[in-house]
Amino acid sequence: MHIGVFGAGAWGTALAIAFSRQHRVTLWSREAREIADLRSDGENRRYLPGIPLPAGLHPSDSLAEAARADLHLVVTPLAGLRATARALHDLAPGTPLLWACKGLEAGTAQLPHQIVADELGGDAPCGVLTGPSFAAEVAKGLPAAVTLAARDLAFARHWVNALHDPRLRLYANDDLVGAEVGGAVKNVMAIAAGVADGMGFGLNARAALITRGLAEITRLGIALGGRRETFMGLAGLGDLVLTCTGDLSRNRRVGLLLAEGKTLPDILATLGHVAEGVSTAREVAALAARLGVDMPITAAVDGVLHGGLGAREAVEQLLARDPKQE
């Protein structure tokens, strides 16, 4: 099978490496210089240094070439999903599409599947690949398990069987909304966890934050039509725990640097990668307010990132909340 992977960042490259163990993969980037470097270096030195690209992986800056595939996998930042899906639809309409983008679109608060529906239509064969997975570990072939969710369970099962690998286990799910909400909001919680860790609040506080963060994610997900059990699985709890505790988490790193008193522009410049939780926090907080969903941790993170609230002040406000029944 031929897979076109669109987006040569850390996660796009990692998935291209993983799937090229069994399939022919074209890895696309719009940047010709980036593709030239991948070809000459035999690795992605910017995002995954030291991890060789396998022989079955072909880097290309030709969207038309990459689109001539049996499956399209979009792994751009969320901001690039709409334009990429539209371009692929123009080049190869009807080709099955998966995406590994997480978040809510800035300005519209749309989840990825809503963006894809805008561009491809509501009956397009498509789904999301999401779950607890750091790019560097997947690229190295370390074991991981993720969810492939689609509204059509038969579609999800088909592609799980086609893509499943002993080192990258896939599980089918038909709760597309729940899987996407879990993947989006866990990044916001990871920023909060980084702030708490950076302030030295300890492991007890981290455990409490993860647990209450999961409650927030679940409330929002159910309000949007997701199922409670999805948030207990890989796309919910699994992804949340990894992102809140793992040192490879970019969003957790944002929180750690906020706790040090760094400004957001300086933090983003230091990272060199997209931290989707930064833009997602604003959209989730606004969406929760419109829906009447109680999300105090999200509101605090949004206040720190976009509302001029100090990190310590935000923590003190959370600790001062009235006691409630769990």
Catalogue the active-site residues. Answer: 186
Pairing of strands 144-149, 126-130: antiparallel
Helices (H), 146-292: 153-163, 176-198, 202-223, 239-245, 250-259, 264-271, 276-291
DSSP 100: -
Q: What angle do CA 96, 101, 104 make, to 5 degrees?
A: 120
In 3D space, the residue among 106, 52, 53, 50 whose CA is nearest the CA of residue 80 turns out to be 106
Q: Look up tokens 């920023």; give the residue.
A: 191
- Give the separation between CA 45 and CA 112, rounded to whole angstroms: 29
Which residues lie across from 74 on neighbouring strands? 6, 99
* Token digits of residue 26: 């074209």
- 187, 251 contact by CB (below 8 A): yes
Element containing residue 173 per DSSP (H, E): strand 168-173
Tokens of 177: 């909304």
H or E element at residue 283: helix 276-291
Distance CA 111, CA 316 (A): 31
CB 127 within 8 A of CB 148: yes
Angle at 149 between CA 155 and CA 51, to 5 degrees: 105
